[in-house]
Structure 1
């Protein structure tokens, strides 16, 4: 059958071949985004089994084009551009937040179908990445990291750090080396400082697997920190400095994915 897939024709099924040309891809992407946002914006979002305008299929088409064609297009920019087309319509209510959540939900299903586990998918999708062109590379890196012997302990530590930081209020504070009193906190800070150039370079080059694998070297220092250091010290300057150290570690750990999602 000829359905014009190479020239921006409408894809009839979720697993259809994607447009073969860049022009076809752009036309199909614009068409699906306009339909998805426009119909949702006039109150006709899919409910339960009912999806008369095939918005689930349109959403899947958008996601597959972004992922499989590796298009470096920010999801929020695409949705806002689609919503702007309906700016003068009094019946239209901006659905970008709801459509965004809907797309991430569909993305979870799409990635699970590709053989990634729920925890692996959640580690990447929970961060609500704007660019999906490298999401498969991120997932493969998470998969490789999860297989390391250090992964379980680091994922659990990351979960603990996330909970500590949620209750703390020292956002953006820099670590002051002079306030690191315990051997274990000095050791963790030294190990992080030594490792940072390596993982920064790996991340900048798009080598997400090397970025995560590099973190495995911190496992012993992280364990020692939590065994030997009282984070919530009575002295506010010591406490805030330790929280700043954990905040920096959290940033290093979670650039590729939220590895706390791998914790059992």
Structure 2
């Protein structure tokens, strides 16, 4: 029976095979059990089997075992273990495994981004979840693009890039949680008169800025008013009768 596949699920493997021994990287003796569990869909058990074999071999663990551990880790959502295992595998296996490492790193970033995108839909998700989702999809695209540069004929990597770009497009259309929303005015209480919106109703609103010409005209008017006041005071002083001298 064929399993249903979500349209938002990125391709995890390189092609027709399931795990890396199909790709000719070799199946080290002793971890056939992990491969069998993986093919049966028992990803938790497969992941533990690969972990145990990795610990048993230590520095002798081949790149194919580490890559299989990384793939199983992705299946159970252990993204950090997938990233560490993929980096170790690439360091141990050399340039031949760099493309697969980048492919796995892209899947890990995509899974983190998808989880953050789900959180962003929740009321408590907040703006940080949306930012993490956008950054995660961008990082996934970068990893898959590097994998595609190293292996140009890789339809799964190209598919995953297009998938992440579509998710990014949808997120960018979504309003950011930090965007200010227009406040709904409080309901008017009964018996309270509705005041007209005059300038005094908005004491915090600043004055309209004057143009240079308006400012100059205002200064001239103020200066003329001051001169008129000074002239009026001088006339009043001149009209007063002289004060009689004091007797000593």
- TM-score (norm. length: structure 2): 0.26
Report which of the two structures shows the higher radius of gyration computed on alpha carbons: 2
Say which structure, 1 or 2, has more relative contact order (CA 8 Å, 6+ apart).
1
